[in-house]
Structure 1
Amino acid sequence: MPHALRILLASLVTTMLLVTGAMASEPADPRPFAASYRLEINGWPSARVEHQLTRQGNHWQSDMRAAIAMARGSESSRFRIGDDGIRASAYHSGYSLLGIGGKYRLGHDDLASLPDRQTALFELSRQAVQARCDDDQPPCEFRYQDHKGREETLHYRVVERSELTLPAGNFDAITIESWDPEHPERRLIFSFHPELPGLLLAIDYRREGERKSRLTLTELSLSE
């Protein structure tokens, strides 16, 4: 199973994080959306990824699903935004390759200290807009839990603020480069929309400078 496929299925295009770097003004308020992406992995046919952010009373829920040939994966996270920040309350995921896989669950007690990666991805997209860790500053550090509840730490830096032209249209973007400090040769480059928390515009996975996979936004539908 290619390393890029393991990363993108194991985290369903995410592996992100609660930011602890210095921040400026308040991040944008969330807005429900439904998005579709094209996932391209070297040596595999392209696949479609579905992503929804919905509001359910006082909570928000982020859902992602993907299928690549005979491999499938899904993640769902439920969280609440309050005066004290974002609090994750439930996480579910499942993966399968050639019919072999597993299901994982984290509950409220498991998520008391660190968020699951879907909740953390949402928080990263909000806070990266204000992050002060570019080429002239030390990298930001963030912590989260993987699908098995194991603590993970990643570093990131802001690399660009620009406009991206994608199949879904033209978008303002904030782009960050992230890496595991124990494996700096593996890089995930995320592009987020500054005013739509949780929305991914694009992701590149690179290893030793070579791009192994890419996720691109192809469709976007916004809800009130």
Structure 2
Amino acid sequence: MPPPLRLCPSLLLLLLVFVVSAHAAEPRPFDARYRLEVAGWPSTTVEHRLSRDGLNWQSDMRAAIAVARGRERSLFIVGEVTRSLYYASGYSLMGIGKDYELGQEALARLPDRQAALFELSRRAVADDCNPPCRLRYLDHRGREERVDYHRLDQRILELPAGRFEAVRVEVTETDDPERRMVFSFHPEVPGLLLAMEYHRDGKQKGRLALTDLILSDTGLASSPKKN
């Protein structure tokens, strides 16, 4: 698979990628849309939905451009730890693609990367890790991946969807520290990514920005905390 295509599913569908404070916010259903820009590719829309499935939660993320598309879906339990139950994904390039699936047995040890993205947002808000902080998860093939992360700051972001308070966290690959991502999460809605920057070799190669947001439990097309 060409490197530019790998960037979308591996780093943004995540990556397109535990112990949590007792005061962490409760999950809330949402539908979010983003504008994705990656060097060498036309810009496109990314859709991310977090929904309740009984006592569990389901994360569904998808993106498509003219010749490539990708989708990931994860079912997980939210408690003191985020535990994956099921994961499915599919990617295609110029009509040629492949589907992947991980069941509960394969996910018993580590979460899939959609659940890991949700967990990363909770850890960023809790900010209770003493560096070095590491996140371990399974990629779409069931192989273990490891990334290091540290919280940067909390600031106001001006985005197409509005003005949001954001918690920023930097993530680097353990075997390639020159590849780093800066995620901006909403501090009150676990799993809600507001923006992301991808850097490699000292240059920004891609970025993601929230363009639309609907909080499904209220039906409001707005953030629960705009400034």
Considering the TM-score relative to the shorter chain, is it more than 0.5?
yes
Alignment counterpart, residue 147 of structure 2, candidates 154, 158, 177 = 154
CA contact (8 A) 2:113 2:139 kept: yes
One-letter code aligned to 1:3: P
- RMSD, aligned α-carbons: 1.9
Which of structures 1 and 2 has the larger relative contact order (alpha carbons within 8 angstroms, sep 6+)? 1
Counterparts of residues 113-132 of structure 1 (less than 5 Å): 113-132=109-128
Inter-CA distance 46–16: structure 2 relative to 1 (3 Å threshold): closer
Structure 2 counterpart of 1:29 = 26
Counterparts of residues 8-23 of structure 1 (less than 5 Å): 8-15=8-15
Structure 1 counterpart of 2:167 = 174
Alignment counterpart, residue 85 of structure 2, candidates 85, 89, 110 = 89
1:56 paired with 2:53, answer yes
Where does structure 1 lack aligned partners over 5 or more consecutive residues? none
**Deviation (angstroms), 1:192:** 0.3
Where does structure 2 lack aligned partners over 5 or more consecutive residues? 218-227
Structure 2 counterpart of 1:68 = 65
Q: Percent identity?
A: 55
**Deviation (angstroms), 1:127:** 1.6
One-letter code aligned to 1:194: P
Whole-Å separation in 2 of the counterparts to 1:153 and 1:15: 12
Structure 1 counterpart of 2:222 = none
TM-score scaled to structure 2, two decimals?
0.89
Whole-Å separation in 2 of the counterparts to 1:62 and 1:24: 22
TM-score scaled to structure 1, two decimals?
0.90
**Deviation (angstroms), 1:85:** 2.3
**Deviation (angstroms), 1:188:** 1.0
Count of residue correspondences: 217
CA contact (8 A) 1:5 1:41 kept: no
CA contact (8 A) 2:171 2:181 kept: yes
**Deviation (angstroms), 1:220:** 0.1
1:212 paired with 2:205, answer yes
